[in-house]
Structure 1
Amino acid sequence: MSTGGLIIRAAAALPGAPTPPVTTPRDPAREAAERELSKPVYHQNDPGLIERALDRFWEWVDELFGRASGATPGGGLGLLAVLLLTLLVIAALWWRLGTPHRTATDPGTLFDDGPRSSADHRAAAEAHATAGRWTEAVQERMRAVVRSLEERTLLDPRPGRTADEAAAEAAGPLPHHAADLRAAARAFDDVTYGGRTGDPDTYARLRTLDLALERAKPLLTGPTA
């Protein structure tokens, strides 16, 4: 045995002497293998960050459903029945109450701000059309149509009137334009409450109707002389 080994063993035998650290001899082959496996070429097919996050998410969902099924009478079948019942209730409410954007805009009045002249609405419509904002252009042109009929006393000014009501009332003195008025009202409702987007063709039809109504002579229904 070497002199160094004897000294270490003698020191360890002394009372209160600190225990010498135990060292594990390094394995050159293992270190070489670890260095080799750490190269990027061996990790090209490893899951990415998003894929790992999705895996963790689905593991969490699976664990959550496992706990829920364990706490629900009937286990997994009981949980499935509860989910189906919840979906049926939501579908029934959706069918009964309609889509959220319909109820949010109720009562669906034609004019949503203070009184403006038909000329003001036409100018706003043309500005929107020039900028390519066809939904707003359709809305303002329909408002110009109704306001013009009110200014000509073919319609009584009435707050809260809807586009459909205006078209139905205007069809009385202007029966030859009744179909176009109804189509204009539907276009207004579609872009305002139905989630559709206005387009140049719809705006062009409304503009043509507006100009035609300006020249149209109302049907006289009063007594003749």
Structure 2
Amino acid sequence: MTLALGRVPVQPDAPTARRWAQQELTDPVYHRGRSLLERIVDWIAQQLSGLHTAGLPAPAAVLVVVAVLAVIAAVAFWVAGPVRRNHRSPRTRGVLAHDDRRSAARMRADADAAAARGDWSTAVVERFRAIVRSLEERAVLDELPGRTAHEAAGEAGGRLPTVSAELSRAAQLFDDVAYGDAHPSAGDDAALRDVDRRVAAARRESRPSLAGATR
């Protein structure tokens, strides 16, 4: 909120101060942290209500109001900005989108194209997606859009125990790259290529039937 000093009341009273704070909070960026900001505004309004009775000179009163509004803006940015966006719910970290109908072969091709241009982040993400899609195509996993990387690795690892550890490491790499700040290398992409080959070669563990177990 930008204040033109020529239009600011020289002695802002309590109602004026509260109105300024409320007007500042109409910006949508404040809404996401409403509970915290309400408490802050209540405290600020109490402080502003004493400006007139404290007998501060007009220039000093204006500077106090501007400083307080700057504090509100800073706190709101912290609450609703990048810090909060970095803490996304794990349930939103799906591997395959609902509208992604590509085959595993298509995803591998997209990963190869990304690797060819040195885009290792895209290559790693698409490579892991290809692994999950291939498991769905083989009916090792049910088709389930929105499944997280660790959910996919856990379910598939239970059915393909020989590659369970590799799948878990691959899932962690996917999360670190897709939803974190990791910067993968050509070596990471090569490692996922190897996981893809191992998963393709792994055979689903056969479990003895109940009838056979009771004989």
**TM-score (normalised: structure 2):** 0.60
Aligned position for 2:130: 144
Aligned position for 2:96: 111
Q: What is the letter of the counterpart of residue 117 of structure 1?
A: S
Q: What is the letter of the counterpart of residue 85 of structure 2?
A: T
Given candidates 160, 167, 176, the residue that maps to 1:181 is 167
Distance in 2, matches of 1:101 and 1:121, equals 28
The 5-angstrom pairing of residues 141-220 of structure 1 reads: 141-220=127-206
Cα shift readout 1:161-184 (whole Å, capped 9, x = no counterpart) = 232321121121123433322222
Aligned position for 1:93: 80
Q: What is the letter of the counterpart of residue 164 of structure 2?
A: A
| Alpha-carbon distance, 1:88 to partner | 2.6
Distance in 2, matches of 1:93 and 1:136, equals 28
Answer yes or no: is the 8 Å Cα contact 1:118–1:144 preserved in 2: yes
Answer yes or no: is the 8 Å Cα contact 2:162–2:202 preserved in 1: no
Change (3 A) 1:204 1:80: same
Change (3 A) 1:98 1:220: farther
Aligned position for 1:79: 66
Aligned position for 1:23: none
Q: What is the letter of the counterpart of residue 116 of structure 1?
A: R
Distance in 1, matches of 2:9 and 2:75, equals 20
Change (3 A) 1:215 1:110: same
Distance in 1, matches of 2:160 and 2:138, equals 12
Q: What is the letter of the counterpart of residue 182 of structure 1?
A: S
Distance in 2, matches of 1:221 and 1:66, equals 82
**Structure 2: which 5+ residue stretches go unaligned?**
18-47, 52-60
User: RMSD value over aligned CA atoms?
Assistant: 3.4
Larger RCO (alpha carbons 8 Å, 6+ apart): 2
Distance in 1, matches of 2:8 and 2:200, equals 67
Which one has a bigger Cα radius of gyration?
1
Distance in 2, matches of 1:222 and 1:118, equals 31
The 5-angstrom pairing of residues 46-61 of structure 1 reads: none
Number of aligned residue pairs: give it.
161
